[in-house]
């Protein structure tokens, strides 16, 4: 019995600091309090909506990829709206820095796919520059076939893997 109590005490001593750290690391948000003016309430609501909008836009920015045809690195017409959205995002959030990652499907040699991934990333970056985004806010890297988004071995999987993917690396 004594031993069980000791075990529970040790578990509590290990777990409580983790919970305390998690709670203290939560972002501090100002909440409505009694006595707030209508202007303060309106400001809080506007800030909440702005945070929510940025979170939704960031999610779309990160999860919409620029797709490419097999063995190609030119920007397809149907992918231009994706890049325009990304440029609009980077314009609105002017301190965002991105890495554009070039990816390929598994066909082709490793060296060929690394070079093709590089051309895809640079093609996306050049298009972003043509939309007014300063090149110093973007870097490129090729992962070739190393990081497939779909592990399948068919045309549907390969089509998903032929992409330029944008990752936010700083603000």
> Would you list the domain boundaries of the chain?
42-170
Tell me the pTM: 0.77
The per-residue pLDDT for 95 is 95
As beta bridge partners, residue 165 has 101
Residue 22, SS3? Answer: helix
Helix (H) or strand (E) holding 166: strand 163-170
Average pLDDT of the residues in 39-54: 93
> If we measure between CA atoms, which residue out of 107, 101, 149, 144 comes closest to residue 123?
101
CA 55 to chain centre: 11
Residue range 6-42, pLDDT digits in tens: 444 444 444 334 334 443 444 445 566 788 898 998 9
CB atoms inside a 10 Å sphere around CB 6: 10
Q: In percent, how much of the chain has pLDDT > 70?
A: 81
Q: What are phi and psi of 33, to 5 degrees?
A: -125, 155
CATH of domain 42-170: 3.30.1330.60
Residue 53, SS3? Answer: helix
């Amino acid at each position: 019995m004594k031993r069980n109590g000791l075990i529970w005490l040790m578990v509590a001593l290990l777990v409580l600091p983790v919970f305390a750290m998690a709670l203290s690391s939560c972002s501090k948000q100002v909440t409505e309090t009694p006595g707030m003016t209508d202007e303060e309430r309106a400001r809080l609501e506007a800030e909440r909506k702005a945070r929510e909008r940025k979170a939704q836009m960031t999610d779309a920015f990160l999860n919409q990829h620029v797709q490419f045809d097999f063995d190609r690195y030119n920007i397809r017409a149907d992918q231009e709206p994706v890049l325009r959205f990304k440029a609009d995002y980077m314009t609105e959030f002017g301190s965002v820095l991105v890495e554009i990652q070039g990816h390929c499907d598994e066909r082709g040699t490793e060296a060929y796919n690394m070079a093709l991934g590089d051309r895809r990333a640079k093609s996306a970056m050049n298009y972003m520059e043509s939309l007014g985004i300063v090149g110093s806010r973007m870097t490129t890297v090729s992962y070739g076939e190393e990081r497939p988004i779909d592990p399948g071995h068919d045309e549907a999987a390969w089509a998903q893997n032929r992409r330029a993917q944008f990752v936010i690396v700083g603000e």
